[in-house]
């Protein structure tokens, strides 16, 4: 199968290219560009006049709810949502039921994903058995069955001795560890940023230093072990500053932020809007601005959707009892385009944190448009708006703070390994 | 931010969810309406027919005898039918969701839901889902708000002190967990009270409380100086000993209201408490029963204020 895309505005954040061009994909990989691609014969040709063609998006955190939570979402629905959102590769955290702590589970999940032939799936294995923080998982085995990194998802390790040992062990095999920096004691019971809004609404708070203390601990252990650590879902200004200093020091750390945290802050909780119940919590305006600046200056490597399908029963609850999380696979591109417009960033700069940067963290070849790279592309119209309605969303999770919003960007086609896996209007 | 969900298009009180965001005129109207009901509560026949034929559902997801009873009395004096539901012991424990419970009761033709819930914001959620002719009155939600208590506190202050714009009011104790404190603070700042103080150890004062327009005092003696009113908050048993406080005794020594501490306030200062009191923990008996105490009149005013609130929301057009 050969696929040719012509008349595109070709954007490749990895090389900084933003110019008219053509792409040819052959046997799943990019085989030719521009003149050569144009001249080649192909079984199918897509005319992308007026459209942007960019590397398919790579999302470092999307919960697919399988295994175990199929009532919230299924692999079918969420993979469909991924490609509808232009996401061609995604990493899923291990907080499924049971958690991804056994090679058999990981195998099955990957097999199911491959059979669906939508986006590429990169499971993140559990760092400890059942995520309970007591026993290391068989990381080497899990890596063989396809885990790309190891993580505790949103359940931080309380025991710092365990964390130290886990980093030592993972580092022995060259694995990286993805950690959500959240000091468990300080986070305990909290449901919102410990600040003016939580005080006004009478909601138990999570202070920013729950994040910075955890980052401090993790950075010390990175210094001690040399293990590569990816910090997940930063939420505070002080957290960004710590990572900036750590990178300057040369520590092997990277980090990401959830896309909601670039747009929303505690004020958006309004009168207890449970759609804004997220984990980590939305913090103050200055935190949001610092996160946004952190993405702009490269301190924050990647932006992820932190896609978390939550059903209505779990969301339509008093704020503190509502399940945290939002559906976001289909909002990642629109929200990044909105961010880029607000921050006056070029499309190259806007797309880097959701393509080549996460590819580097995952250690995969996709996320770029060059000869030999996997044929994963997204074709989208950056100007056409999309209205976020429950019906328009493919995800089984319909809950998002942006419900009813009109956001920029409309995905016209998503291509994985040279196959058109989604076509939009 | 969205329009205040408690007011209808005409600016009338559709629900009472929180004092925050209510305009001064609405607060003053509640107090004036309560004035007119004070007479009723002193009559031989303590009833007016304002809510005849209406049903008031007392929905208490959290146990409370006192508040539920005052709402019940207030509703009955307005000639409403009152149905008491102790949800803590029934449907919620069977796994029914909050909104299902409300939908079911709504099908039984309620006019007013009086809601007490342990989770901050629960009455807002209910108010979003009730039918246009149904009204929600918050009878206390988590740490967030207890607006009828706040209004009866305002009524009491006005009764004894007349002018809010010349007052110094101190609120003492567990502000962190107190919906009473939050409601009163919003009420006082809306009515132009120039000096509202909160007094307590840092463990019991919420982060950034200054943003609500109050001054924070760690030292009670300093904080009480010159106060016209002292509002003592209840300290829950489970918080007397643990991470927030070492013991009830030490709390009483430093933050309990005693006659010698009260002497630092203005000579004609009044002492208030939302009840139920912990004598010897937040307040000394000699003060609670002393000449400055207006704690029992607060209870009487509470009925008139709740009558005012229910008659006003029931009168608001959808």
Q: What CATH number does the domain containing B285 carry?
A: 3.40.50.1370
Give the mean pLDDT of chain B.
93
Whether the pLDDT of residue A40 is over 50: the answer is yes
pLDDT at site B1:
42
Exposed, middle or buried, B272 (CB in 10 Å: 0-12/13-18/19+)? Answer: buried
The interface residues of chain B toward chain A in range 169-198, judged by CB-CB distance below 8 A, are: 179, 182
Whether the pLDDT of residue A150 is over 90: the answer is yes
- In chain B, the number of structural domains is 2
- Is B62 in CB contact (< 8 Å) with chain A? no
Phi, psi of B90 (to 5 degrees): -125, -105
pLDDT at site B153:
98
In total, the C-beta contacts within 8 angstroms joining chain A to chain B are: 76
Average pLDDT over residues A263-291: 97
- B141–A202 CB contact, under 8 Å: yes
Q: What is the residue range of B135's domain?
A: 24-145+301-315
- Is the model more confident about B97 or about A320? A320
Domain ranges, ordered by start, for chain A: 2-53+373-423, 55-362
Give the mean pLDDT of chain A.
97
Whether the pLDDT of residue B3 is over 80: the answer is no
Nearest CA in chain B to A319: B121
Assess if residue B2 is contained within a domain. no
Among B1, B117, B120, select the one facing A203 at the smallest CB separation.
B120
Residues B182-229 pLDDT 10s? 999 999 999 999 999 999 999 999 999 999 999 999 999 999 999 999
Q: Beta partners for A24? A: A4, A32
pLDDT at site B39:
84
Identify the band that residue B85 occupies on the pLDDT scale cut at 50, 70 and 90: confident
Asked if B87 and B201 sit in the same domain, the reply is no
% of chain B with per-residue pLDDT over 70: 96
With 0.90 as the threshold, say if the pTM is over it.
yes
Least confident of A179-188, A207-216, B95-104, B263-272: B95-104
% of chain A with per-residue pLDDT over 70: 100
- CA A184, distance to chain mean position in Å, is 23
Residues A302-356 pLDDT 10s? 999 999 999 999 999 999 999 999 999 999 999 999 999 999 999 999 999 999 9
Asked if B245 and B265 sit in the same domain, the reply is yes
Least confident of A316-330, B95-109, B263-277: B95-109
pLDDT at site B302:
96
Looking at CA atoms only, how far is residue A391 from chain B in angstroms? 21
Asked if B120 and B161 sit in the same domain, the reply is no
- In the three-class reduction of DSSP (H, G, I as helix; E, B as strand; rest coil), residue A21 is classed as strand
pLDDT at site B94:
62
Asked if B175 and B262 sit in the same domain, the reply is yes
Among A195, A200, A318, select the one facing B98 at the smallest CB separation.
A318
Which strand (E) or helix (H) includes residue A214? Answer: helix A209-225
Residues B9-25 pLDDT 10s? 888 999 999 999 999 99
Asked if B211 and B252 sit in the same domain, the reply is yes
Among A201, A205, A274, select the one facing B144 at the smallest CB separation.
A201
Residues A56-69 pLDDT 10s? 999 999 999 888 88
pLDDT at site B126:
95
Long-range contacts of A344-348 (CB under 8 A, 24+ apart): A345/A296, A346/A18, A347/A11, A347/A18, A347/A52, A347/A54, A347/A382, A348/A11, A348/A12, A348/A13, A348/A16, A348/A17, A348/A18
Asked if B95 and B199 sit in the same domain, the reply is no
Among B122, B207, B212, select the one facing A318 at the smallest CB separation.
B122
**Rounded distance between C-alpha atoms, residue B126 and residue B115, angstroms:** 9
Whether the pLDDT of residue A138 is over 50: the answer is yes
**Residue A50 contacts residue A22 (beta carbons within 8 Å):** no
Identify the band that residue B92 occupies on the pLDDT scale cut at 50, 70 and 90: low
Asked if B152 and B238 sit in the same domain, the reply is yes
Does domain A55-362 fall into CATH 3.20.20.140? yes
Asked if B66 and B43 sit in the same domain, the reply is yes
Whole-number Cα distances in Å, B37 to B16, B17, B135: 18, 22, 20
pLDDT at site B41:
74
In the DSSP assignment, the letter for residue B228 is: S
**Residue A89 contacts residue A80 (beta carbons within 8 Å):** no
Asked if B153 and B294 sit in the same domain, the reply is yes
Whether the pLDDT of residue B80 is over 50: the answer is yes
- A317–B182 CB contact, under 8 Å: no
pLDDT at site A226:
98
Residues B300-312 pLDDT 10s? 999 999 999 999 9
pLDDT at site B237:
85
- A320–B5 CB contact, under 8 Å: no
CA within 13 Å, CB half, A316 = 16
The interface residues of chain B toward chain A in range 131-170, judged by CB-CB distance below 8 A, are: 141-145
ipTM > 0.90, yes or no: yes
Looking at CA atoms only, how far is residue A260 from chain B in angstroms? 18
Looking at CA atoms only, how far is residue B84 from chain A in angstroms? 22
Asked if B138 and B153 sit in the same domain, the reply is no
Asked if B30 and B58 sit in the same domain, the reply is yes
Q: Which fold has domain A2-53+373-423?
A: Urease, subunit C; domain 1 (2.30.40)
- CA A322, distance to chain mean position in Å, is 22
Residues A109-133 pLDDT 10s? 999 999 999 999 999 999 999 999 9
Asked if B98 and B217 sit in the same domain, the reply is no
pLDDT at site B317:
59
Parallel/antiparallel/unpaired status of strands A377-387 and A52-55:
antiparallel
Residues in B closer than 8 angstroms to A199, CB to CB, are: 206-209, 211-212
Q: Which stretches of chain A sit within 8 Å of chain B by CB?
A: 194-196, 198-205, 207, 267, 270-272, 274, 313, 316-321
Whether the pLDDT of residue B91 is over 90: the answer is no
Average pLDDT over residues B30-52: 89
């Amino acid at each position: 199968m050969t696929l040719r895309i012509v008349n595109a505005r070709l954007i490749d954040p990895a090389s900084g290219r933003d110019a008219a061009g053509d792409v040819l994909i052959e046997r799943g990989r990019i085989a030719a560009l521009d003149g050569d691609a144009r001249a080649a014969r192909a079984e199918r040709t897509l005319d992308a006049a007026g459209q942007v063609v960019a590397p398919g998006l790579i999302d470092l955190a999307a919960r697919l709810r399988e295994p175990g939570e199929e009532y919230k979402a299924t692999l079918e629905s969420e993979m469909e949502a991924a490609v509808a959102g232009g996401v061609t590769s995604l990493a899923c955290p291990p907080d499924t039921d049971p958690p991804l702590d056994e090679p058999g589970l990981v195998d099955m999940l990957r097999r199911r994903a491959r059979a669906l032939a939508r986006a590429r799936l990169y499971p993140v294995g559990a760092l400890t058995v059942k995520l309970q923080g007591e026993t290391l998982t068989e990381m080497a085995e899990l890596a063989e069955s396809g885990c790309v990194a190891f993580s505790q998802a949103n359940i931080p390790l309380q025991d710092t001795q365990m964390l130290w040992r886990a980093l030592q062990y993972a580092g022995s095999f060259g694995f990286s560890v993805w950690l959500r920096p959240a000091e468990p004691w300080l986070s305990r019971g909290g449901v919102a940023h410990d600040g003016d809004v939580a005080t006004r609404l009478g909601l138990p708070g999570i202070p920013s230093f729950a994040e910075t203390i955890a980052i401090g601990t993790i950075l010390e252990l990175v210094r001690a072990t040399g293990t590569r650590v990816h910090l997940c879902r930063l939420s505070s200004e002080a957290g960004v500053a710590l990572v900036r200093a750590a990178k300057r020091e040369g520590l092997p750390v990277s980090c990401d932020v959830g896309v909601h945290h670039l747009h929303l802050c505690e004020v958006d909780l309004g009168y207890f809007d449970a759609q804004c119940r997220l984990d980590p919590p939305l913090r103050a305006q200055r935190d949001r601005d610092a996160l946004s600046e952190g993405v702009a200056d490269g301190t924050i490597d990647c932006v992820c959707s932190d896609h978390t399908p939550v059903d209505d029963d779990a969301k339509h609850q008093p704020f503190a009892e509502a399940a945290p999380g939002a559906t976001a696979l289909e909002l990642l591109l629109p929200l990044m385009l909105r961010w880029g417009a607000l921050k006056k960033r070029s499309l190259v700069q806007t797309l880097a944190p959701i393509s080549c940067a996460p590819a580097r963290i995952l250690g995969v070849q996709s996320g770029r448009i060059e000869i030999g790279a996997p044929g994963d592309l997204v074709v989208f119209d950056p100007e056409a708006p999309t209205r976020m309605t429950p019906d328009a969303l493919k995800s089984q999770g319909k809950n998002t703070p942006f419900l009813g919003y009109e956001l920029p960007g409309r995905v016209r086609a998503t291509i994985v390994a040279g196959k058109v896996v989604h076509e939009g209007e | 931010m969205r329009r205040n969900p408690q007011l209808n298009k005409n600016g009338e009180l559709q629900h009472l969810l929180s004092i925050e965001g209510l305009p001064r005129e609405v607060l003053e109207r509640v107090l004036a309406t309560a004035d007119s009901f004070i007479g009723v509560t002193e009559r031989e026949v303590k009833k007016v027919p304002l809510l005849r034929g209406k049903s008031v559902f007392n929905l208490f997801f959290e146990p409370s005898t006192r508040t539920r009873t005052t709402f019940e009395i207030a509703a009955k004096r307005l000639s409403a039918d009152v149905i008491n539901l102790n949800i803590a012991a029934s449907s919620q424990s069977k796994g029914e969701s909050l909104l299902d419970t409300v939908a079911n009761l709504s099908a039984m033709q309620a006019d007013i839901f009086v809601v007490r819930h342990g989770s901050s914001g629960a009455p807002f959620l209910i108010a979003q889902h009730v039918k246009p002719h149904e009204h929600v009155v918050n009878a206390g939600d988590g740490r967030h708000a207890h607006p009828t208590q706040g209004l009866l506190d305002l009524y009491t202050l006005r009764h004894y002190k007349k002018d809010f714009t010349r007052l110094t009011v101190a609120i003492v104790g567990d502000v962190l967990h107190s919906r009473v404190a939050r409601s009163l603070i919003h009420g006082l700042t809306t009515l132009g009270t120039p000096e509202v103080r909160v007094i307590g150890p840092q463990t019991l004062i919420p982060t950034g409380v200054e943003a609500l327009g109050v001054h924070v005092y760690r030292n009670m003696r300093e904080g009480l100086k010159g106060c016209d009113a002292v509002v003592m908050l209840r300290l829950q048993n489970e918080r007397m000993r643990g991470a927030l406080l070492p013991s009830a005794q030490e709390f009483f020594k430093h933050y309990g209201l005693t006659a010698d501490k009260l002497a630092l306030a203005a000579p004609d200062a009044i002492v208030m408490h939302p009840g139920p009191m912990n004598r010897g923990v937040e307040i000394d008996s000699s003060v609670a029963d002393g000449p400055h105490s207006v704690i029992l009149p607060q209870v009487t005013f509470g009925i008139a204020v709740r009558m005012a609130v229910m008659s006003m929301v029931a009168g608001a057009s959808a």
